[in-house]
Structure 1
């Protein structure tokens, strides 16, 4: 699965049942290295999730990791705390928002 396929699937899951993002508004940037890397933006607003390539808006939180680790993070096979401690994940900005993102991802992992 590619990064864009992963983001599309996550957005579809969230938008089909937005219980974990009710009333939450935030923008996240993902700076991904690797063959399928790039810059991506995920926005939660109006009980809806969207993603785009690039980082056009200001984010509350920026996460830097490899494309492979990003997919593992979304799928729930990468522990974000362990990844952070091992240097596989770098977080810039509001740490509280990174914790909220973890809660959101956990709610939509199957």
Structure 2
């Protein structure tokens, strides 16, 4: 598994210590995918209610708070497929 995925799982786990109400997947282009659900955060590529896709650089900027997820989406740096309500919920957690 990629070091980018391992680090992202650690950082997202800290932000979502109580898990996530729903099932979301972050796809980091060229690195892999991360699942977020009520059980917590883990590397994986399962079916999800919403899938967010971004480059490793954009994903890192979002995690570090340097890029707002909504801004990333509106500027085309983050794509969302599926339940937009869940994506917005996740975006508010990451902001």
Band of TM-score, shorter chain: 0.7 to 0.9
Q: Which structure would you say has the larger Rg?
A: 1
Structure 2 gap segments, 5+ residues each: none
Q: What TM-score comes out, normalization by structure 2 length?
A: 0.79
Q: Structure 1 residue 3: deviation in Å?
A: 3.4
Q: Structure 1 residue 85: deviation in Å?
A: 1.8
Kept after mapping to 2: 8 A contact 1:3/1:67: no
3-state SS in 1 of match to 2:16: helix
Structure 1 gap segments, 5+ residues each: none
3-state SS in 2 of match to 1:25: coil
Residue 88 of structure 1 corresponds to which residue in structure 2? 77
Number of corresponding residues = 93
Kept after mapping to 1: 8 A contact 2:5/2:33: no
Q: What TM-score comes out, normalization by structure 1 length?
A: 0.70
Q: Structure 1 residue 2: deviation in Å?
A: 2.8
Superposed CA offset, 1:55-86 (max 9, x none) = 12x21110010011111112211122221122
Moved over 2 A (4+): 12-15
Residue 51 of structure 1 corresponds to which residue in structure 2? 42
